[in-house]
Chain A
Amino acid sequence: MSEMTEKKPRVIVGFICERSIPIHEMIDAQKALTDDPETKIIILPCSGMVKPTQMELALANGADATFVCGCAINDCHYRTGNIMIRERLEGTRNPKLRKNTDKRKVGMFFFTMKDKRPFLDALALFKASTENL
């Protein structure tokens, strides 16, 4: 019987740099990934624009997990945006995530505009890792 129980829908919020994966062609009118409707997308000019507080806001308001996706490391269109957000989320650059934020629910990916499939695979792994948190 338990196998027949429907899984509770989850909500993942992703902050995505418009110059990394081809995000404009990957979302529907509700800003959800067409390949994964549980994942809602905020598109930004650069991943370095993401504030850690915005990811905390998503988690505090019901998101099951949140992630940021920027350009491939060493290849940020704006030179350092991906490094900045990586360091902020790792806690080595200000502003950082709050200490009481569950960092297991915070993901980060760095892909090129040709990496649609690798991104979806990485996202699936991330979602699976946060399923029972």
Chain B
Amino acid sequence: MYKKFLNLTKNLTVSLEKGLNFLTMQENNPLYFHGALPLYTFWFLIFSGIMLWMYYIPTLDRAWTSVNYITSLPVFMKDAAGNLLLKNGNPVVAAISPATGIPYGAVVRGIHRWGAAAMMITTVLHMLRVYFTDRHRAWRWLPWVSGVLLLIFVLFVGITGYLLVWDARAYYLVVASQRWLEAVPLIGQSLSTFFIGGDAIRDFTLTRFFFFHIGGATFIFWLIWMHFIRLHEPVVTPSRAVNFLTLGFILVAAGAFPAVNVTKELIQQFPVLIGDQGYIASDAPAQIGFLVEKIRYDAWYLFPYYLIEKVGVNWAWIILGLATILLFVAPFYPKDRRDNIAEVIDAKCTGCTFCSLDCPFEAITMQERAPGSKFKLIAVVQDARCSECGICVGACPFQAIELPNTHSKTIDGDVLALLKTGA
């Protein structure tokens, strides 16, 4: 039943990809680079994040202001017809527009913001694609499990990014997170204290969130290493066309909808800003003790908080906990019969390393033979990692490694038998 479901999803996925091949050509189909795309978008986040880091001040009274400083662009006054208002030949700058700011800071923050959305979207697509094509089970358990951890950490780093701007929404999220953590039996209060760095929200709280954000992003690199450790030559970059396409999407999104701090209240005060508001990334500055009733939810990172609002903290724990457990156990069920694992024929193995170099899942290691042996090395198959694909068999010029149920001699015999029967 479950296998039939996986077959169905595989059929649908391949049909979708085949359809997209007509548009993009096979070599540039982004769905064939689903694993490389999250990593590619991650680089945008690293570089734009470093640029934002240069000006960000993680204290309660300066965080919002520093983000505002980064993202403020001069906003020019316009008349009713949409023409720029001029004074002595110069455009009139709106009253709320600060005189200083970082050039293109809103675009850099836009890259960070839209890059984060792109990373989550491509990560989820990657996961779905791997699952739907049944490429997550058995010998692939480590990439899958590390992938689930990556998903959790991408979510965590994304959420902490929302806290750093320290606006009304960030404060709401901190309070909701504390409620959520406090619902954990026995250690809930300690978790909550650890989360905000003490018994109350202070400057240390933002320092801690900053650490969570940067430290979490650094830990993602370690998880990526775990993700790749059993893959020979993992695809780490999409094709050039897909690279440029992704770059274009993020830059166009960041340029068209730069992340700025123009609040709804300010727009009400200065209606002229409506045409220049860009993407409203932040609300009014946070005020401790003043909790807004509703926040704007981001579909990619803030869904746990939406869940908390809708079903309460306990049910949110149960739903998200169950989903996480299901994701972690997915590669272990159903179990297939594994009776065709590659076997090395010791007497024929010359230690040439071809099989080890070509194995796509790092299942073959080369080990030293006993002193005095004719050859120095011998290939050793690690059964749990073997996919039974036979690529090592194709790589071996000495017929020294075989799949027991698909032996080369049997294939040679089949070839000769087919030729004997003729057309």
Contact = CB atoms under 8 A, between A and B. Distances in A.
Contacts, number: 127
A88 B394 contact: yes
B230 to A, nearest CB: 11
B416 interface: yes
Interface of B: 10-11, 14-15, 17-18, 26-27, 29, 32-33, 133, 135, 231-233, 235, 340, 354, 358, 360-361, 387-391, 393-397, 403, 406, 408, 411-412, 414-416, 418-419, 421-423
Q: Is the interface of A mostly helix, strand, loop or mixed?
A: loop
A74 B416 CA distance: 32
Interface of A: 9-11, 13, 30-32, 37-38, 40, 42, 44-46, 48-51, 54, 57-58, 61-63, 72-75, 77-81, 84-85, 88, 93-95, 112-115
Nearest to A110: B26
Contacts of A75: 17, 32
A46 B390 contact: yes
Contact of A48 (B15, B29, B233, B391): B391
B394 A84 contact: yes
A119 to B, nearest CB: 13
Nearest to A58: B415
Given A54-B411, A62-B419, A85 B394 contact: yes
Nearest to B15: A114
B137 to A, nearest CB: 12
Contacts of B17: 75, 112
Contacts of A45: 340, 388-390, 403, 406
Contacts of A74: 26-27, 29, 32-33, 235
Nearest to A79: B360
A37 B423 contact: yes
A71 B103 CA distance: 49
Contact of A79 (B231, B397, B406): B231
A13 B387 CA distance: 26
A114 B408 contact: no
B350 to A, nearest CB: 13
Nearest to A88: B394
Contacts of B391: 46, 48-49, 78, 80-81, 84
Given A11-B423, A63-B419, A73 B26 contact: yes
Given A37-B423, A75-B17, A80 B411 contact: no
A80 B360 CA distance: 6
